[in-house]
Structure 1
Amino acid sequence: MQSRPALPASTDVLVVGCGPAGSATATWLARAGREVTVLDAATFPRDKTCGDGLTPRAMAEVDRLGLGTWARDRITIQGLDLRGFGHERRVPWPAGDHGGTGSAVRRTVFDDRLRQTAVEAGAVVHDGARVTGVEVGSTGGDDDKAIRAVQVGDTRISCRTLVVADGVRSPVGKMLGRAWHRDSVYAVAARSYVASDRHDHPWIGSDLELRDDAGAIQPGYGWVFPLGDGEVNLGVGALATAARPANVAVKELLKHYARIVHDSWALAGEPRAITSALLPMGGAVSGVAGRNWAAVGDAAACVNPLNGEGIDYALEGGRLLAELICSGPGPASTGTDLTRAWPELLRATYGESFAIARDAAHLLTFPQFLPFAGPIGMRSQTLMTAAVRCMSNTVADSDRDVVARGWRAAGSIARRLDRRPLFAD
């Protein structure tokens, strides 16, 4: 049995979590010449509850990392087959700054390839290493609140910068004061894998009229992501708030949904590997940064409130955080003070789109809204094309058409009216 390499006593940048956000941050920092150590509590390859889909926005970041051909060779996704309220709509991904194709790669494979990319860039990755404590400085002055080290079992690892990328529950983030606000909309979701004769179909299945086995409509949707490897990723997600929790057993809802789409997707068996998760979304967290640390990806609730997509924001956020860290004086100091700089960058990048998406998702939690709005939207190809563009956050800053202007204006208003700022300090 091969022994694991010893953990270092110190490192310039310590990244906790080796999912898309952690791997992307580590890769860009290592490519910039920084000394990077990555810790992950799990042992790779490891699974993650996820739809496994890569939107065009995500693929733009995959391309930047040099993995675009690898992902598209597995399967290329052209867009969505939407169904519900007596209508079906095929909506291609919008062309634009993010490109017009997507993909899908199961997370056991995708995350491991991202981990390998970080290693190839020069980062050192240790899996099976769980952080059990965080040491905050006690030297006085401005750096009194800086992170000095983390504890992994009996090993102390000092660092100049700490990146918290440990997922939706973010145990390290909690140690540092990160708080999730459940009065904002969140999701409960379940995912499975099913053998399918249509595993290489280049269109995502998306059922916007999601009903349980009693016929009650649920505020969410069902999905089928072809994986091109003999199986599809089949799942369901429901929206909720603290005031209106999702009163549904999502794993049972998933099994019911599988029965509904069994014939249309030529399923060849029962759903397997069923997992479920709660998902903070739309920046509904506070305490995402400190003097020399920042939370990124799911740990910072960088998840689209309308479709539950988080991979694109994890990859993109990792690149943005690496650029911010590298903008400081360099490895000889703790660099840029991230306390305000990181939340402000997140709000500048995602504030408008997350604010309006959060409000729209909030409306969906009212039982009367979806049965009223769903049939209206599904009657129009134009409306659904615009909706997919906004839901997938592929409205680029350079876009000046009516949909883009309206989306940004609505987001700006929603952000000003928000009771609590996104990524609150």
Structure 2
Amino acid sequence: MSADHRHDVLVIGGGPAGAASAYWLAQRGHDVVVVEKKTFPRDKTCGDGLTPRAVRQLTDMGLAEQLAGYHRYDGLRAVAHGVTLELTWPEHPSYPSYGYVVRRRELDQLVADHAVKAGATFRAGTEALEPLLRDGLVVGAVVRDAERDVTEQVRARYVVIADGANSRFGRALGTSRRRSWPQGMAIRGYYESPRHDDPWIESSLDLRDRNGNSLPGYGWIFPVGDGEINVGIGLLSTFRDFKSVNTTHILDEFAATAPVYWGISPETATCPPTGGRLPMGGSIEPKVGPTWIVVGDAAGSINPFNGEGIDYAYETGRLAASLLDEALTTGDGMALQRYPGMLDAEYGLYFKVARLFAKVIGQPALMRELTRAGMQSRTLMEWVLRIMANLLRDDEVGPAEMAYRAAAAIARVIPERS
């Protein structure tokens, strides 16, 4: 490319949201370039689980055949208070009734390669250092190619910000997290296990240490299907002592007290654990400017109910691409300004209910009693699964929908602190 070439769209970050944006834009014939700081394949702190919503997005991208080569699972095994419930994904008119577990180093490579096949340019090992401005508008980015040790300008009509939960590029444009809203914290590691191909992902809702003392948060075990399992814990900032929690200690205790059938021990660990913090519930604002738009984790598009972000990354990336396609096709950049309203219509009320729920589960004693009661009823836990995974149906008013609508009615009238 010549130094003065101007792309249609520059995407900052090649993870799920960025790669999805690039794919959908390239498929529509636009000149799109992705700059990704890391060189693929690379690992990410993640549970590696793809819910039915994520599977739907990947299928729509034409990746169903490639996904079929990974470990497929049927639903969630919930474990708490000595009770175990195996809950299948519900039947839904829009989403499949199964999920997959795919390591992020493989998943992100898969989608990035797919975007390239659609016509996108992918520049790995290239870091976006700062926005490129002209007359107060973002017109690209100053980037550094690590392999060539070259700093240059990449120009574009529009910029998609998809550089993850700690979005430096977004902050350079004034984005920030609403600190009164929940933030998540997670840590995970991998272990060899004889149950690596188990048909259920597992969640422990009653964490305890080796002495039987209660611990904050929840634990997960996701079978990867390649000889290993992904083991992690998640915690919300609504927990009173969130800032002082030692997540490594909690993970060690969870690994030591997990069901014996997983075969977890210090000797079966295959790598050191990694962790990070996650903005949730759409807590990052603003999400759009005159020539830029924020997607995925960089926009705080993570479900406070369960910490799931991959599906929302694909969905917001696709939504942003549709608006950018309209702006590029019609020449009317005001199309981007509909983005916040569309996000609010799709996720606003759901995320608000989830944020209120996050305040409840931030109280360990209350959480223990809720899980104790819930685990006594398979039907109740099936409702919970549908609500937490955002798989409610529009074509019926079942118990889950009624419970959610009751919570939503309350959420509509409760003001939130900014």
TM-score of the superposed pair, with normalisation by structure 1: 0.91
Work out whether 1:226 is the aligned partner of 2:223: yes
Go from structure 1 to structure 2 and tell me whether the alpha carbon gap of 1:7 and 1:25 turns closer, same or farther (over 3 Å shift): farther
Which of 328, 332, 335 is the equivalent residue of 2:333? Answer: 335
Letter in 1 for 2:334: T
Which of 201, 204, 209 is the equivalent residue of 1:207? Answer: 204
Contact 1:20 1:111 in 2 (8 A): yes
Contact 2:116 2:122 in 1 (8 A): yes
Work out whether 1:30 is the aligned partner of 2:21: no
Q: Where do 1:25-64 residues align within 5 Å? A: 25-64=21-60
Give the match's secondary structure for 1:58. Answer: helix
CA offsets 1:22-47 (integer angstroms, 9 cap, x no match):
00110001001111000011111111
CA offsets 1:368-421 (integer angstroms, 9 cap, x no match):
311221111111101100001111111144443232243145235414524257
Give the match's secondary structure for 1:395. Answer: coil
CA offsets 1:279-314 (integer angstroms, 9 cap, x no match):
111111211110121110000111110110000101
Return 313-322 or 23-32, whichever deviates more.
Answer: 313-322
The gaps in structure 2 that reach 5 residues or longer are: 145-150
Identity across matched positions, percent: 38
Go from structure 1 to structure 2 and tell me whether the alpha carbon gap of 1:415 and 1:275 turns closer, same or farther (over 3 Å shift): farther
What residue in structure 1 maps to residue 288 of structure 2?
A: 289
What residue in structure 1 maps to residue 98 of structure 2?
A: 101
What residue in structure 2 maps to residue 274 of structure 1?
A: 273
What residue in structure 2 maps to residue 141 of structure 1?
A: none
What residue in structure 2 maps to residue 78 of structure 1?
A: 74
Return 292-301 or 262-271, whichever deviates more.
Answer: 262-271
What residue in structure 1 maps to residue 147 of structure 2?
A: none
Cα distance in 2 between the residues matched to 1:213 and 1:131 = 45
What residue in structure 2 maps to residue 355 of structure 1?
A: 352
Q: CA RMSD in A?
A: 2.0
Contact 1:239 1:246 in 2 (8 A): no
Contact 1:161 1:334 in 2 (8 A): no
Go from structure 1 to structure 2 and tell me whether the alpha carbon gap of 1:299 and 1:32 turns closer, same or farther (over 3 Å shift): same
Work out whether 1:91 is the aligned partner of 2:87: yes
Contact 1:187 1:308 in 2 (8 A): yes
Structure 1 position 158, deviation (Å): 1.3
Cα distance in 2 between the residues matched to 1:374 and 1:203 = 19
What residue in structure 2 maps to residue 136 of structure 1?
A: 133
Contact 2:10 2:140 in 1 (8 A): no
What residue in structure 2 maps to residue 176 of structure 1?
A: 173
Contact 1:182 1:241 in 2 (8 A): no
Cα distance in 1 between the residues matched to 2:289 and 2:379 = 44
TM-score of the superposed pair, with normalisation by structure 2: 0.92
What residue in structure 2 maps to residue 307 of structure 1?
A: 306
What residue in structure 2 maps to residue 148 of structure 1?
A: 139
Go from structure 1 to structure 2 and tell me whether the alpha carbon gap of 1:420 and 1:33 turns closer, same or farther (over 3 Å shift): farther
Give the match's secondary structure for 2:359. Answer: helix
Contact 2:22 2:34 in 1 (8 A): yes
Give the match's secondary structure for 1:18. Answer: coil
